[in-house]
Amino acid sequence: MDTLIDKPPTRTDVPTAALRKLYLARFAFAAAWAALLFTTADTLGPLSATLLVIYPLFDVACAVVDVRSARTHAGPVRHLYLNIALSALTGAGLVVAATSGIPAVLRVWGVWAVTAGLVQLAVGVSRRQLGGQWAMIASGGISALAGASFFAQAGQDGATLTNLAGYAFLGGVFFLVSALRLGRTGTPT
């Protein structure tokens, strides 16, 4: 006879719940941020410059939350510390780049997208057992490719920030997919 008994949390339940909340917050932020940047993407004014700096700083905050959760549950944190450093440096770099114009911003963003994408890929691989990490792995690889594209766009006439909005939104969608798939280790990651 089957009885309804709460099953005890498994080793991955607690970090998965925290990670799911973090990924959902990242999706919501990326979607709102992309919409705001898209409306100002043709010029580099005070609003767009502020948005550009806020994005990597939000990434720092998310990585700090992720580190705290991962440390509490004996998860890997080394790559997360690297992400914090890269994103903090990018925030500072974007402050400087915004004074030089859109091409400089695209170069800084491009370098960050490549390096942060590779870190995200490594974190996704190290978290495969949590489930849903195929989206993070794919996102990391796409980010690296997109970063190279942003760097190349910087040398073209009429460069805009529009593609950065699309990049952020797509990254947010990957976070959403991963949040929905977390904890499903019986399915391919």
- Across the chain, what does the average pLDDT equal? 86
State both tokens at 94: 């974007």
Q: Is the pLDDT at 84 greater than 90, yes or no?
A: yes
CA distances from 126 to 63, 133, 148, 161 (A): 15, 9, 24, 32
Report CA 147 to chain centroid distance, whole Å: 13
Residues 150-167, mean pLDDT to the nearest whole number? 93
CA distance 39 to 139: 24
47-56, 97-106, 141-150, 176-185: range with lowest mean pLDDT = 176-185
Residue 124 has pLDDT above 90, yes or no: no
User: Rounded to whole angstroms, how far apart are CA atoms 51 and 33?
Assistant: 7
pLDDT for residue 187 is more than 50: no
Record the tokens describing residue 100, joined without a space. Answer: 């030089």
| Structure confidence at residue 79 (pLDDT) | 85
Is the pLDDT reported for residue 1 higher than 80?
A: no
- CA distances to 13, 39, 77, 109, 126 from 148, rounded to whole Å, are 37, 24, 26, 10, 24
With DSSP H G I counted as helix, E B as strand and the rest as coil, what are the percentages for the chain, rounded to 5? 75, 0, 25
Residue 21 DSSP one-character state: H
Q: Name the pLDDT band for 17 (thresholds 50, 70, 90).
A: confident
Residue range 2-29: mean pLDDT, rounded: 69
Q: Is the pLDDT of residue 113 over 80?
A: yes
Which tokens in the block code for residue 82? 């690297």
Of the chain, the percentage scoring pLDDT greater than 90 comes to 62
